[in-house]
Amino acid sequence: MTRNLRMDKFLFLVRQYLAASFRQFSKQGWRDTNLIEQYMDILAETPLNQTDMKIPNGMRYHVLDIYVDELDKVDEKREGKMPLEQLLGPVQALEKGSPMKVVRKRAKEALEDERLMNWNKDLKEGPLENDRGVSYERDEGEDDDEWGGIEE
């Protein structure tokens, strides 16, 4: 019981950290794109790291599960100031580059959240690009690099 309570507190802390970061950027009017990019790099290096197996998938899942929720809370009015493509960069990279199919699928589900369509209607129509010029195209048919078992 104590172990579950500690885990719940830790996951709540992760949520609060993500929420506070988004709130701070929102208070600044999303103007400091360099600072936002640095924060996205931190997310991409730590909880949303594509390849570091020291980071548990449970952490990745949790951040993916709460990501759009916390963005939604800071821009409920959809004022259009939020640099959505930049903010979704780490999730898009995880969808594209994770060696684990289940992680790619969870990232794809987060990116397909219908609330994202309210911010940017043409988000899924073409390749997305972050500030560094890295393009993230969506695959309609995904390569299945993982072993699928023995076919009979």
pLDDT in tens, 42-91: 999 999 999 999 999 999 999 999 999 999 999 888 877 899 999 999 99
Amino acid identity, position 19: A
Residue 36's contacts (CB-CB under 8 Å, 6 or more residues apart) are 25, 30, 83, 86, 87
| Separation between Cα atoms, residue 41 and residue 26, nearest integer Å | 18
Helix (H) or strand (E) holding 67: helix 57-74
Who wins on pLDDT, 147 or 100?
A: 100
pLDDT band for position 123 (50/70/90)?
Answer: very low
Per-residue tokens: 65: 């599960």
Is residue 126 domain-resident? Answer: yes
| CA 115, 121, 125, 128 torsion-angle sign | negative
Domain count along the chain: 1
Amino acid identity, position 76: E
Is residue 146 domain-resident? Answer: no
Q: Tell me what pLDDT residue 138 has.
A: 43
**In which domain, by residue range, is 125 found?**
2-130
Is residue 104 domain-resident? Answer: yes
Amino acid identity, position 99: P
Query: CB–CB of 89/46 below 8 Å?
Result: no
Residue 44's contacts (CB-CB under 8 Å, 6 or more residues apart) are 50, 89, 90, 93, 94
Is residue 109 domain-resident? Answer: yes
Is residue 145 domain-resident? Answer: no
| Separation between Cα atoms, residue 60 and residue 98, nearest integer Å | 11
Is residue 135 domain-resident? Answer: no
Scanning the chain, the segments in alpha helix (DSSP H) are 2-27, 33-45, 57-74, 84-97, 101-111, 114-119
The mean pLDDT of the chain is 83
Is residue 50 domain-resident? Answer: yes
| Separation between Cα atoms, residue 113 and residue 19, nearest integer Å | 18
